[in-house]
Amino acid sequence: MVSRKSHPKSRNGCANCKKRRIKCDERKPQCGNCEKHSIACDFSLQPSQAASNTSSSPQAHRHRASDSRSARSLRSSVHDRSADRSPALAHSSFEGPGAHLPALQMEELELLHHFTTETCFTLSDRPESHELWRVNAPQVAFQHDFLMRGILAISALHLSHLRPGMHDHYSQIAIKQQDSAISSFRSVMSNMDESNCDAFFGLSSLIVVYGFESPKNSNSLGMFNYSGQDSDEWLPLIRGVNSILFNVWPWIKNGRLKGLLHDHQQEPPQKRLPDILNDQLSHLENLCENASDGPEAVEIYRTALAQLKACFVRMNNRPPYECEVSIAFLWPVMVPQDFIGKLNERRPEALIILAHYCVILHHLDDYWWMRGWAAHIVENIERELDDDWLFWIQWPRNVITVEPKVLTNGTLQNPVSGNRVSNDFNTAIDQSLDPSEELKTN
């Protein structure tokens, strides 16, 4: 048995007991008090360690003892787990909790990143809308799968536009994500309420963007196929989305994405339109008053034309708080359903009014998802009209396809900036409509 005199601390007890002024049982290699409180006893330390230990706090001893036990436990765990493995694996790998996580979906992470850094800035001309698409919409989407799928679909569609070499790859991704979004959207459509209306609103907006970008290679007018069969293209799409959201509109106006709306109550000043545009619309009024398909048709055309004129005024005098995309899509929502019927019947008067609406639509030609749509529709209208009617769409056709520099009232103007028509619509045509010329009807 080792005598107490064999250890330098035997007469006075360990340093921890001395500090706490309690009696030390001087048990080796760790006294009872140190063991009870799970702290390192200087009986178990080398002389140099014991000297250092006298200046340490009990809390430090406690942490070191705990760390030491954790390290021993970890080494033991690794040793046990690696017992059945090769020596190389035993020294090079460790199965922590992260090892059981599913693989990251890099493709979807890339799409979300692209949306929040690039695509969000291409859906509107208003900084407030940019921030809502960048921050708020993804936050809402984390709670609603269908909106997240819609965001990923638009992001993939945008990448297919930006990376022509991978166009087919990203287009297929966009189709899959959009199909999934629509399927999920339909399954909960009958349960719209205050908790999910923001997600519905966000996806509805993205559906319109998707609808414009995807079918531009078709021979359509945007509301029906060239064969005449109904389709789900942009005009009924906009109207359908608006009707779906109508019942939850009060919630949307107070929701997290309300900034995407423009205030319909704050009407811009009713300023006079440029003479050339005012003259064109006046000639169209004369055309509609002499429509060959009866008094009811005259009223339908008159209403559609009045609403088109109101949209021209609004776009021409657009205040800073209004979004040009929202204004451009007002007319398709406002026109009576009977007018859509006239378009489906290929009535010349209806097609001519639509061609003039394309001048407003051409304002959005800078947006990647709208580029070429106005020209596309006018070209298809030309196919539908007999030669005797082509005169009536000469002005919108020239506005949309005009060279950057044209003569307006004898003065050189620049009505087109890039692909965008200037806000004053003051673009010349080769031959203005003459009010005195006999109306051409069939």
pLDDT in tens, the chain (442 residues): 444 444 444 456 787 777 777 778 877 777 877 777 667 777 665 454 444 444 444 554 444 444 445 445 434 444 444 444 444 434 444 455 556 778 889 999 999 999 999 999 999 888 889 999 999 999 999 999 999 999 999 999 999 999 999 999 999 999 999 999 988 988 888 788 888 999 999 998 898 888 887 655 555 555 444 333 334 356 667 777 777 777 788 898 888 998 887 654 555 556 677 888 888 888 899 888 888 888 889 999 999 999 999 888 888 887 767 788 888 888 988 888 899 889 888 899 999 999 999 999 898 888 999 888 888 889 889 989 999 999 999 999 988 886 443 333 333 333 333 334 444 444 433 334 443 344 444 4
- The pLDDT assigned to 233 comes to 59
Q: Which helix H or strand E contains 421, and what residues bound it?
A: strand 420-421
Residue spans of alpha helices (H) in 163-219: 167-188, 197-213
Please list, in sequence order, all residues whose beta carbon lies within 8 angstroms of the beta carbon of residue 364, skipping any fewer than 6 positions away: 324, 325, 328, 370, 373
- The Cα 115–Cα 128 span in angstroms is 16
What pLDDT does 324 receive? 84
For 1-65, the fitting CATH number among 1.10.3470, 4.10.240, 2.60.40, 3.40.50 is 4.10.240
Tokens of 334: 């406002």
| Domain boundary assignment for the chain | 1-65, 106-260, 275-421
Q: What is the pLDDT of residue 303?
A: 94
CB–CB of 252/317 below 8 Å? no
